[in-house]
A and B are shown apart, each in its own frame.
Chain A
Amino acid sequence: MTATDVTSGSNVAPMGSVVPGAGLSHRSGPRALRNRLAAVVMWAAFAIAMVPLVWILWSVVTKGGAMLVNADWWTHSQRGITNRIVGGGAVHAIEGTLLEAMVTALMAVPVAVMTAIYLVEYGRGRLARVVSFTVDILTGIPSIVAALFIYAVWVTVFGFQRVAFAVCLALMLLMIPVVVRSTEEMLKLVPNELREASYALGVPKWKTIVRVVLPTALSGIITGILLGLARVMGETAPLLILGPYTQDIATNLFGGLVPTLPTMINQDRTEVLQPAVDRVWGAAATLILLILLLNIAGRLIARLGAPKT
C-alpha cells in the first residue's frame, strides 16, 4: 500500500512538467513546492511551540526574579507581613514544599519500585496485565480526583482534620505511576546476560535483582524519582483541598497548617497591591527554579550513568 501510493503520487504530475526521462532526476514543480512548504510548516510548528515556553519563563523572571536575589527571600517567612508591606520571604513555603515532597517520595518510591520489579521481573499473565493497566489509569487520574479520594477517606470516613500528611497521601497517588513507568523502562534496559550470568553462578533470583539488576539500573531509577518529585511539587489541587496556607513557618505534618509555594501563589493571586503581586511572581519563580533544578539533576544523572546496552 505504501509503494502504490508513492508511485501514483509521482506519476500524476501536472501536465507540461513531464519530460521523458526527466522523472528520475527532476522533481515536478508542485511536488517540490509542497515538499518545501511542509518543511517550512514543521519548522514553524517548532517555533510556535517555543513561543509560550520563552514567554512564560520571561514573564516569571521579569516579574518575580527580583525577589529571588534578595537574601531575605530565602531566610524569612511571611509572618506579620500584609499585602501593603514590602518584605518577608518564602522560606516557610519552600520548607513546606520540600518537606511534603520528601515524605511523599518516602511513601511512593518503595511501592513504585517494587511494582516495577514485579512487572518486569515477575509479571506474567493476567495479574501483570491488570497491574500495568491500573498504572495507566493511575497516570490519568486528575489530581483533583486524587485529592477528593483522600478527602473522602481521611476527613469524611475517619473524621480527621485536614493536615499536610493527607496532602502527601494524595501526592503519593500521583507520584507512583511516574516512578513505576520510568523504573520499568530502566529495568528493561538491563541486559538479560547479566541476569543469566548471575543465575549461572547459583545466585537466587531475589539476590540477582537486588545486587545485579537494581544497581545497574540505579541512575535511571533515580532520574525517574526526581522527575516524579518535580511533578508532585508543582501540584496545587490536593493542597487546596487538604492543606490550607499559613504565613508562618510550620512543619508539623499531622497538625496545623503547612504552607507551600503553590498555596502561597494561590493565596495572593487576586491581589492588586504591588508588594503582594511581586511576592506571587517571586513564589512562582522559586517554584519553577526548584522544579527545573530537579529536572536538570535528573537528566544529568541519566546521562552520566545510563546502563550500557
Chain B
Amino acid sequence: MSTITGVSTVDELPDPEGHGPFEGDRASTGRLGDRLFGGTARGAGVLVIAMVTLVAVFLLSQAIPALAADKVNFFTSTQWNVDATPLQFGIANLLWVTVLSSVIAMIIAVPLGVGVALFITQYAPRWLSRPAASLVDLLAAVPSIVYGLWGLQVLGTHMAGIQSVLERLFGWFPLFQDAGIDASSTVLTVSVVLSIMVLPIVTALSREVFAQTPTLHKEAALALGATRWEMIRTAVLPFGKPGIISAAMLGLGRALGETIAVMVILSALADGTPWSWSMFNGGETFASKIANNAAEFDSPQKAGAFMAAGLVLFTLTFVVNAIARVVIERRKVFAE
C-alpha cells in the first residue's frame, strides 16, 4: 500500500509474464468529450506541478528581503533575533538540532523497521502477517500532537534513567554530556518519539520490497542448504537493499519536517544559551521554531526570517525525498 509511504514500488516492476508497467493507450477518439476530459486530467497534473513550484517561489520571494537585511551569516550564526534592527538571524542551532534528532531517530527506526518488515514477510505465520502489518500501520494513524503529548507526559518521565546510563558510559564524549535540561524534553526524547513515528513508513516500504524477492532466488538459496537466516542474508536483503535505502530516506524526510511532536516535547532554549553538541540538550528544529513563533508573524520582515528557515527545511526534505525516489527508480534496472 502506498498510502503510508506515498511511493509506489509494486507497479514499476514487470509482472511475471514480462509485461512492463501499465501505460496509457492511444484510444482517444479526438472527439470533443475526449479532448475535454483528457485536457482536464492533464490540467490537474499541471496544477500539481504548479503548486509545488509556487511553494518554492513564494517561500523564496518572502525570504529574500529578510535574508538581504540579515546582518549575520545565515548559515553559521546561532543567533535568532528577529525583533532587532538590523535583523540578526542564523540557522546553525536549528540545523544541528534538526539533523541530530532525525539522525538518531533513523538509527533507532531503520534496523527496527527492517526487522519488523522481515518478520512480517519471512517469519510471521500466515495468520499473523496481515494483522501484524495493519497494527504497525496503525502507528501512522496516531496524530502528531498526541505523540507529542504522550512523549512529554508519559514517555518523558521514563527517560531520566536511560539518560543517566548513557551519561555515565559515554559522558566523556560531547554528544552525551549533561546539559541541565529535564530528561523529558531533550533531543533524545524527541528522537525516540520520531523513531516511533517513522517506523510505519520504514516498515511499509521495506515490507513491500521484501515481499517481491523472486521466489526462485529464495528457493535456490534454500536448495543449496542455506538456513532461513542465510537465505534472507543472501537473497532477500541484497534484493531489498535499494528499498531499505529509500525507506530510510523517506523516513528521514518525515522526521526532518515533523513539527508538533517536536514543538511539544523539546524545551526551547533562551536566546544566548551557549552552544552544546549534546543530545541531552533542548533547542528547536526548523519546524518547531516556526510553529513556536506562529503568533509573531506580524511584520513581513519577521515572517520573512521564518520563511527563510522554512525554505531551508523544504530544500532539505526535497533533497532527501529526491534521493529516495532516484534509488527506487534505479532498482528497476536490477529487478530482472
A interface with B by C-beta (< 8 Å): 1-3, 5-7, 9-10, 23-24, 27, 31-32, 34-35, 37-39, 41-46, 48-50, 52-53, 55-56, 59-60, 110-112, 114-115, 117-124, 127-128, 130-131, 133-146, 148-149, 151-153, 155-157, 173, 176-178, 180-182, 184-185, 188, 192, 195, 199, 204-210, 224, 227-228, 230, 233-237, 240-241, 262, 265-266, 269, 280-281, 284, 287-288, 291-292, 295, 299
| Distance of A183 from chain B, by nearest CB (Å) | 10
Contact status B41-A262, CB under 8 Å: no
Complex contacts, A206 vs chain B, CB 8 Å: 28, 33-34, 36-38
Contact A284 B123 (CB under 8 A): no
Q: Is A205 within 8 A of B234, CB to CB?
A: no
Query: Once bound together, how far apart are the Cα atoms of A118 and B49, in whole Å?
Result: 13
B107 lies within 8 A of chain A by Cβ? no
B310 on the interface (CB 8 Å rule)? yes
Chain B hits for A112, CB < 8 A: 44
B46: which A residues are within 8 A, CB to CB?
127, 131
By a CB distance below 8 angstroms, the chain B residues around A188 are 11, 22
Instruction: Kindly state the separation between the CA atoms of A241 and B234 in the bound complex, as whole angstroms.
Output: 50
User: B58: CB under 8 A from chain A?
Assistant: yes
User: B interface, by DSSP: helix, strand, loop or mixed?
Assistant: helix
Is B221 an interface residue, CB under 8 A from the partner?
yes
- Is B69 an interface residue when CB atoms closer than 8 A count as contact? no
The answer on a CB contact under 8 Å between B294 and A240 is: yes
**Contact A145–B29 (Cβ < 8 Å):** no
* C-alpha gap A141/B54 in the complex (Å): 13
- State the majority secondary structure of interface residues on A: helix
B52, A134: Cβ atoms closer than 8 Å: yes
Using A53-B139, A124-B23, A178-B6 as known contacts, say yes or no to A153 and B313 having CB atoms under 8 A apart: no
With both chains docked as a complex, state the minimum distance between the C-beta of A170 and any C-beta of chain B, in angstroms: 11
A110 to B11, CA, bound (A): 23
B54 proximity list for chain A (CB < 8 A) = 149, 153
B317 touches A142 (CB 8 A): yes
Contact A49-B116, Cβ < 8 Å, known A181-B8, A205-B28:
yes
Using CB atoms, name the residue of chain A closest to B147.
A56
Q: Does B228 contact A (CB under 8 A)?
A: yes
A-B interface, 4 closest residue pairs, ranked by CB to CB distance from nearest? A142-B257, A234-B143, A45-B115, A139-B6
Q: Is the CB of A185 within 8 A of B25?
A: no
Task: List residues of chain A with CB within 8 A of the CB of B61.
Answer: 152
User: Given A152-B58, A205-B34, list of 7 further CB < 8 A pairs?
Assistant: A48-B112, A49-B113, A60-B146, A122-B41, A188-B22, A280-B149, A292-B141
**Are B59 and A145 neighbours in the complex by a CB distance under 8 Å?**
yes
**In the complex, which residues 1-60 of chain B have their Cβ closer than 8 Å to any Cβ of chain A?**
1-3, 6-8, 10-11, 22-25, 27-29, 31, 33-34, 36-38, 40-49, 51-52, 54-55, 58-59
